[in-house]
Chains A and B, each alone.
Chain A
Amino acid sequence: MRILTVCLVLMIPGCLLAQSYSALLIPDSLKKEARAVVREDEYILEIKSPSKAITREHHVYTILNENGDHLGGIISRYDKFTSINSISFTLYDMMGKELKHVKKKDMEDKSYTSEGTLMDDARYKEYDFYYKIYPYTVAYDEEDEYNGILYFETWKPLLNSGISTQHSKYVIIAPKDYEVRYKPVNCDLKPVITASGDKKIYTWEVNNLKARVTESAGPRWKEIAPHVLMAPSDFEAQGYKGNMSSWENFGKFINQLRQGRDVLPEDVKKKVHELTDPLKDPREKVYALYNYLQKNTHYISVQLGIGGWQPFPADYVAAKRYGDCKALSNYMIALLKEAGISGNYVVIYGGRDEPSLVDDFPSLQGNHIISCVPLGKDTIWLECTSQDVSPGFMGSFTGDRKAILIDDAGGHIVKTPCYSSADNTRSRVVNASINTEGNLDAEVSTTYRGVREEMPHELIYGASDEEREKYLNSLFHLPTYKVEKSHYDEERGPMPLIKEYLHVLSPNYANITGKRLFINPNLFDRSSYRLSPDSVRHYDFVDDRAFRDVDSITINIPAGYQPEAVPQDTHIESKFGKFTASVKVMPDKILYYRIWEESMTRFPPSDYDGLVKFYEQLYKADHSRIVLVKKE
């Protein structure tokens, strides 16, 4: 008996731990700053033909703490083009002992349709071990089959911030004559290419990459992480054939998807002429049609099959009066065409934090469609999913970025308008008074322009009256207050402008202690941004907002007080921005003036200490008080 027990003990490490998934084997260098470690990452893409491919994946992750838990579960998407042949998912404990094993049939099957989408026919399989004894390891294997190809997965040897990699490999097996396209980004990782019969095999491989960690206000992960973009050359999906080797060809493929989908019903054609024939200026015609689009359609997202890239036809939009970004842009272009104006379909990344387009690697990029009308030197940009945005204005959702403009010849890289600090302005004039109880009564008139206009724009168009009131009454950092009255006016155009009027009452705004009155003259706009002084900075500091704020505040004060302490004026003009705050105490009033201007800049890590100081100076200036004391 005794001998048998010993045997067993010896055998367990020998057989069960053969795959060496034990977390104890991870080198310390890979655990530094890591929440998880990619032990093995293998992705094999076998291209059978321009429309068919098989992928085989093998991943082993060791999760070191709670923040790595998302790797302890899987989500696998499938749709009309992709089917999952098999999945297996295994959980191991710290020593590498298998605890649980599940297959495809054990997983939950869920709809991909998200909030805000009417229908999406994609689905996903989901499973999570919900394990929490750290470290633990999961291994997952999947085989997928593609019937229809539009893109290839990117190789990411480093998965994300705070995840190190022990071994990662990406293999493409392609027919000998198939052109495999790839582009290394933030690295120069190259494949080893071998031939095997009528196949060519491309293998990328790396070992032992330490974890990197993103920083707040730093570059996006994609800008610092090594990765290799992959893309098809010839491809085919749902009967549509294309070639991705140039933007020209990409554009031709998109044109193919739109072919014959710009036919308008007769009544709409009539309406187009009714609206535009009396107008001479093509710009006015564009505005008139855009206004018609905004009045008569709204955004509804339906994604079926290749519909992720193919717009619903113009007559569908005319009848239903709704569509997604593709359908509405396509419809807008059809309206323009009827009026004899040539409009273009534009593929873009929409969103404030979206990645930028990689313009030297033609591939399926972008997540949004807009349209534009080139008029000589000028171009009118049109966001067709919004019923309220000004024609020509791109804002923070689509402004200042590269995009792919599609015309008859194919695709071309273009850039959308960029707004500077001279465009994005907010100027505020406040007439206020403080009475002997310290109560504040303020009339606030503010003009917002450019990107600064987006917030009040949302208050006009996006929020119900009730939501607006709630928002306004929790916006300011005043002790207790009420916005008694609010009013908004918008001037539309390529550089839209909103005038806001608020009447604000704040009891006990100024603090009275005995004979003294404490007043912060900066009523509504105190900078709360502070950087931690003891952080070690590795990456650039990205200031991605350009704006200019000007405040002129007059506060009438009760009679009989004289200044005891008045904050010194602050005036900074540095590469980090321009800032001025000045205060003047007169016998009956306080005059306060503040200007803050920033432009979009990237600062190297060595500038970090300077930035800390800059924001600290602003914070101090914005929070300083005037002390008034009663005349004896």
Chain B
Amino acid sequence: MTVQRTLTLALCLLAGAFLRAQDKPPARFGKISPADFNVKAPAYDTAADAVVIADVASSEFVGNVKGWFTLEFKHFKRIKILNKKGFDAATIEIPIYGTNSYGQRVDGLKAYTYNLENGKVVESKLDDKSIFIDKVSKYFMKKKFTFPALKEGSIIEYTYTLQSDFFDYLRPWAFQGIYPCMYSEYDVSLPNFFQYVTLSQGFLPFRRSNPTSRNTTFRLSIPGGADRDENVSFEDEVVETKYTMKDIPSFKEERYTTTIDNYVSKIEFQLSRYAFPQSVPKDKMGNWYSISLALMKDEDFGGDLGNSNGWMDDEMKNIVKGAASPLEQAKKIYAYIRDNFTCTGHGHLYTSNPIKTTFKNKNGNEADLNLLLVAMLKHDHLNADPVILSTRSNGFTHEVYPLLSRFNYVIASVNIDSTSYYLDASEPWEGFGHLPEYCYNGHARIISAENPMPVYLDADLLLERSTTTVFMSNEPGKGVLNGRLTSLKGYIESSDIREKVRDKGEKEFFKGVQAAFPSEWAISGTSIDSLKLTDDPVTVSYDVQLKSDGEDLLYFNPMLSEGYKENPFKAAERIYPVEMPYGFDETYVLNMEIPTGYVVDEIPKSTKVTFNDNEGFFEYLIAKDDNGIQFRSRIQLKKANFKPEDYATLRDFFAFIVKKQSEQIVFKKKK
């Protein structure tokens, strides 16, 4: 649903206003005058610590000596540092991927700091010795530097060209960043022979210039090995488009957001077709069918899934021993990987090793483990497929465009008796058919050569259901108030509890439970059921007892320690949508006998409020008769995603819950 909204928005923007001719950068590299120092924190971002005066870049293709094309990304950025907290803006990292023979290079890096001293501009050049190359890993390094002679009020600027052999990765452009920006421009020159789809997103609109076209000659040199290199040149039309945005506020992180990346104003490009002169155009982006087919053949993805994988025959017999049905078979295979393999990292679309190696090493990233899972399920003739998705923190995926670069995660699906189960064997807590909450990010895709269907893993569909029941009785000799609480937790909370208990132990876990009670309450007789049965939620139970000296008045909160004590929505305002991990339905029921020797002096009033008609409700029902009190509190929010406009209502809804759940029953000693 959310994905669709973004897409619609993108289309609107693309159809939006063409840029007027006068839009041009307010600054040029190396051109500076005292008047340029007048820049202050802009009205739309008065608390800024630094302000970007100009952020200007261009991308274009040039022929290279490897017989193909290099992408030239030219970047110029000028920033005014307003105060010391903005000094961080003066340390720059340029990431460089690939190797010497095929990858990226940075040329012509120049950087200056300008200070205004006695009305004159004093410049300090970045010297080459102060530019560092940090080789982070085999295929990734960073060029790093920090500006010299920095002061409050300094203007800094730098420029460089990034030459990239990755011609199919046209740099995206984010207009919005952590500092406000007065002018942002991206100038993209695309030859006819590379056709791109443009995607855009964000809450703020940018402008697009009227595309201009020119004929350009491309010269390529094709290495001839022992023979002489062959020089080729041809002419093609190049279309230049300029995207600009002005007066852009910085983006602000908010709680309950999947990722700010989904809302930052930016444009991205995806190579869709080759259309070289005098040749038949060739589709490069493909569709979900062609992409699926390619992935299933890719040795770093599904290459091993089509094989018989006879090497696992013997082990498989042991693993599924005793399984009476296909479902049991699937469960045993799933549990085998989950319980015996270590996940070395999440967020990978591709395997790091052939599945046979993964099987032997008993470790791998989540793609390794889940593709091995698919292979093992298939080996035993179960109907299994890989499913690719993008985790919540990685942003949304497109249902229409098969953009693999948006995906970062692989899970497995298995269909048994026309029921589909989605499996992730990389998390030790996940039961069969359950996924970690970060997988619930809307559109995901089954990868199958025959039927690459979309799957919708929507947080709105995830309902966390918990039921807590408490019986308070008048058992003699156990103090004035005592009882037993039994809480059947929601599935996700159960996973959290399993993790806590594993890390710290059950004793520590219950210390936490005790600490949530006021000091006059003691808990005992603690137990947790189903800790090891990861397919089921856990049940936590314990006895509670009030240490009392027989006061004349007893104040008793029927929620015990289970109520909301603080509003989860702290901030008073909201810019972006609220994206909670799941909807929930929490029921709390208490039945109590009136403490011996006491009468009810006062009890809270029953009440019920609904949230946005039928999207949720909170009820607080309480009744008493001569012997006892029946109480029930239920909070239901049927969905997880809310518009920014709903935020105030959501905050008020929880404020009301917090208030109501802190109310007390008052018992008075019989005279």
Contacts and interface: CB of A to CB of B under 8 A. Distances in A.
Interface of A: 66-67, 100, 108-111, 113, 118-119, 123, 128-133, 295-296, 298, 300, 302, 319-322, 387-388, 438, 461-466, 470, 473-474, 477-480, 482, 507-508, 511-516, 518, 530, 532, 564-565, 616, 619-620, 623, 625, 627
A54 to B, nearest CB: 27
Interface stretch (B207-215, B338-346, B406-414): B338-346
B85 A320 contact: no
A367 B289 CA distance: 58
B363 A110 contact: no
Contacts of A515: 602
A302 B146 CA distance: 11
A131 B146 contact: no
Interface stretch (B30-38, B327-335, B457-465, B658-666): B658-666
Contacts of B666: 513, 516
A489 B85 CA distance: 18
A516 B664 contact: yes
Given A473-B572, A479-B659, A480-B655, A119 B144 contact: yes
Nearest to B85: A464
28 contacts: A67-B503, A111-B137, A131-B362, A132-B342, A133-B362, A298-B84, A319-B149, A320-B130, A388-B84, A461-B84, A461-B85, A464-B49, A465-B47, A473-B570, A477-B566, A478-B566, A479-B658, A479-B662, A511-B663, A513-B664, A513-B666, A516-B666, A518-B664, A530-B519, A565-B553, A616-B519, A620-B519, A627-B555
Nearest to A318: B149
A623 B665 CA distance: 18
A513 B663 contact: yes
B148 A480 contact: no
B511 interface: yes
B532 interface: no
Nearest to A128: B344
Interface string B332-367: 000000001111100000000000000001110000
A470 B148 contact: no
A480 B651 contact: yes
Given A464-B85, A513-B666, A514-B602, A507 B655 contact: yes
B150 A321 contact: yes
B151 interface: yes
B264 to A, nearest CB: 16
Nearest to A300: B146
Contacts of B138: 108-109
A131 B571 contact: no
Contacts of A623: 518-519
A515 B668 CA distance: 14
Contacts of A321: 148-151
Contacts of B84: 298, 387-388, 461
Given A319-B149, A388-B84, A464-B47, A508 B655 contact: yes
Given A132-B341, A470-B571, A513-B663, A119 B252 contact: no
Contacts of B146: 118, 300, 322
Contact of B135 (A111, A565, A619, A625): A111
- Please list the 10 inter-chain residue pairs (A to B) with the smallest Cβ-Cβ separation, ordered nearest first: A130-B363, A465-B47, A130-B342, A480-B567, A508-B659, A119-B132, A480-B655, A320-B148, A479-B658, A514-B602
B60 to A, nearest CB: 32
A511 B659 contact: yes
B43 interface: no
B519 A118 contact: no
Given A132-B342, A473-B572, A479-B658, A530 B515 contact: yes
B555 A518 contact: yes
Contacts of B566: 477-480
B22 interface: no
Nearest to B552: A565
A465 B9 CA distance: 31
B149 A133 contact: no
Nearest to A565: B553
A513 B572 CA distance: 26
Interface residues of B, number: 59
Contacts of B651: 480
B134 interface: yes
Interface string B176-188: 0000000000000
Nearest to A66: B502
A461 B135 CA distance: 33
Given A302-B132, A623-B519, 12 more contacts: A300-B91, A319-B124, A320-B149, A322-B146, A473-B572, A479-B659, A480-B567, A507-B655, A514-B605, A516-B666, A564-B553, A620-B519
A370 B359 CA distance: 54
Contact of B572 (A108, A464, A482): A482
A531 to B, nearest CB: 10
Given A298-B84, A321-B151, A129 B135 contact: no
Given A118-B146, A479-B662, A511-B663, A132 B567 contact: no
A461 B651 CA distance: 31
B400 interface: no
B611 interface: no
A150 B365 CA distance: 40
B134 A119 contact: yes
Contacts of A119: 132, 134, 144
B577 interface: no
Given A130-B344, A322-B148, A110 B511 contact: no
Given A132-B341, A473-B570, A511-B659, A110 B137 contact: yes
A532 B509 CA distance: 12
B654 interface: yes
B324 interface: no
A131 B363 contact: yes
Contacts of A511: 659, 662-664
A464 B136 CA distance: 30
